[in-house]
Amino acid sequence: MKALIPAAGFGSRLRPLTFSRPKPVLPVAGQPIIAYALQHLRSVGIEDIAIVTSDATEAPLRAALADWPDVTFLRQAYMGGLGHAVAGAEEWADGDDLCVMLADNLFEHSPAGLLQAFRDGGAHAALALIEVEDPRAFGVAELDGEGASGRVRSIVEKPEQPETNLAVAGLYCFTPRIFEALRQVPVSARGELELTDAISWLIRDGAVVRGYRQPGWWKDTGRPADLLEANAWMLARQGSVQRGTVEHSLVQGNVVIEAGARVCRSVIVGPAYIGPDAVIEDARLGPGVSVGRGAQVIGAIVRHSILEAGACVSGLSGTLSDSILGQGAQLSRQPATSYHQCLMPDASTLSIAGD
């Protein structure tokens, strides 16, 4: 079996963070989002992995995955939808079964259960399903049976009155028959080749399509709040590692301090991640904070936030919380004035406390 990770889009809902970088390279708990997909796929023995890119995303993806030299990059000619991304990999798949895992989805557990349901059930396709509170925003599957897996009767995209609460998550297994299905279905009303349409075609054609209730949590990192929640979840899974320097400070809970980082006269409450060459001075950090390579927190309190590489927070009188600072972003306290001055790119959000 081979694996495919579609990663050609930028992620408009995360602008301005994704104006210059694709969403899968944004950091969560010290790693690019896409790295977690690679780790899960390798954990189940899949070695041959390709990432689908575009003209705009290939360079930043290659840079972010410099530590993964044995990954193949496939270019998607245009943004034609998820089905189009999969169809373009037919020659590379070369007749092998295919596991498809979306680059911006995070799963607590590996695809091991899904792969077993796919192989043991003699399926042509298998889908990871997650129980959600409000399934109206997702593709929703109807299953035969109440067990961990069953045959999929139908998939309805974003139904007004869902028959079940089983959302189709971004994790699939296919035999080569999926490529036949993708050739059979037309482009959708929004101008894209839809993978769910191809799966529905398989069901109508009598193919065995199985659904597997994926255990644990799942997060589609589509919005800033999702990114922060995913960061907190992934931080909670890490252990405690101290490779950097800690002086006159208190470190509590699961905290990773990478080599070259320096923590001085500060309190760190885990879970937290402090990246290489970061500087934390006279600060209180955590819980739920990731600090990227070379970032600085000086004389400030930060909780439940992500500071990317080279960001700096200094001299704040209050607490910085539920925030994301992009690469090289600067946030500091200035002398009190009667006006505010700012430079904000498109789709930015700035909250200023009132009197």
> Using N-to-C axis directions, what is the helix angle for 177-184 and 195-204, rounded to 10°?
100
Number of domains present in the structure of the chain: 2
Nearest to 237 by CA among 108, 144, 145, 74: 108
Domain range enclosing 303? 240-332
Q: Are residues 30 and 174 in the same domain?
A: yes
Q: What is the pLDDT of residue 26?
A: 86
Range 115-126 average pLDDT? 90
Given a cut of 80, is residue 200 above it in pLDDT? yes
Residue 50 pairs in a beta bridge with 4, 72
pLDDT of residue 202: 94
Tell how far CA 201 is from the center of its chain: 28
Q: Are residues 96 and 195 in the same domain?
A: yes
Residues 218 and 262 in one domain: no
Exposed/middle/buried for 335, CB within 10 Å: 0-12, 13-18, 19+?
A: exposed
The rounded radius of gyration (Å) of the Cα atoms in the chain is: 22
Amino acid occupying residue 234: M
Residues 46-54, mean pLDDT to the nearest whole number: 92
* 67: in domain: yes
pLDDT digits (tens, 9 = 90+) for 247-303: 999 999 999 999 999 999 999 999 999 999 999 999 999 899 999 999 999 999 999
- Domain identity same for 206 and 271: no
For residue 326, the model assigns a pLDDT of 84
Per-residue pLDDT, 101: 94
Instruction: Tell me the pLDDT band of 19, cut-offs 50, 70 and 90.
Output: low
Would the pLDDT of 346 be above 60?
A: no
User: Is the pLDDT reported for residue 41 higher than 90?
Assistant: yes
CATH code (residue 217): 3.90.550.10
Sign of CA dihedral 117, 119, 123, 127: positive
Q: Which of 106, 107, 147, 150 is nearest to 127 (CA)?
A: 150
pLDDT of res. 37: 92
The pLDDT value recorded for residue 148 is: 73
Are 160 and 30 in a shared domain? yes
Residue 254 and residue 3: Cα distance in Å, rounded? 32
Contact 167, 135 (CB under 8 A): yes
Find the Cα–Cα–Cα–Cα dihedral 146, 149, 152, 156, rounded to 10°. 80
| Whether residue 271 is found in the same domain as residue 221 | no
More confident residue, 37 or 329: 37
- The answer on 277 and 315 residing in a single domain is yes
- Using CA atoms, how far residue 354 sits from 323, 351, in Å, is 18, 9
Task: Convert 207-239 to b/e letters by CB count within 10 Å (16 or more is b).
Answer: bbbbbbbbeeebbbbeebebbbbbbbbbbeebe
Residue 347 has a pLDDT of 55
Highest mean pLDDT among 126-135, 175-184, 228-237: 175-184
* 219 contact partners, CB below 8 Å, separation of at least 6: 105, 106, 226, 229, 230, 233
Q: Is residue 118 part of a domain?
A: yes
Per the confidence metrics, is the pTM higher than 0.75?
A: yes
Place of tokens 């320097």: 245
The CATH number linked to 290 is 2.160.10.20
Q: Tell me the per-residue pLDDT of 138-152, one tens digit each, with 9 for 90 and over.
A: 788 888 877 677 888
Residue 287: asked if its preceding bond is cis (omega within 30°), the reply is yes
State yes or no: pLDDT of 65 exceeds 90: no
Assigned domain for 296 exists = yes
Question: Is 234 among the domain residues?
Answer: no
* Rounded (5°) CA angle 231-234-236: 110
Per-residue confidence (pLDDT) for residue 334, from 0 to 100 = 66
Confidence band of 343 (pLDDT split at 50, 70, 90): low
Q: How is residue 213 written in tokens?
A: 């209730």
DSSP 116-175: HHHHHTT-SEEEEEEE-S-GGGSEEEEESSSSSEEEEEEEEES-SS-S--EEEEEEEEE-
Query: pLDDT tens-digit profile of 71-113?
Result: 999 998 888 788 999 999 999 999 999 999 998 888 888 999 9
- At 95, list the tokens: 């007749």
Residue 47 has pLDDT above 80, yes or no: yes
Long-range contacts of 318-322 (CB under 8 A, 24+ apart): 318/353, 322/225, 322/228
Same domain, 249 and 203: no
The pLDDT, as a whole number, for residue 227 is 85
CA 311 to chain centre: 21
The percentage of residues in the chain with a pLDDT greater than 70, rounded to a whole number, is 90
Q: Provide the pLDDT for residue 208.
A: 92
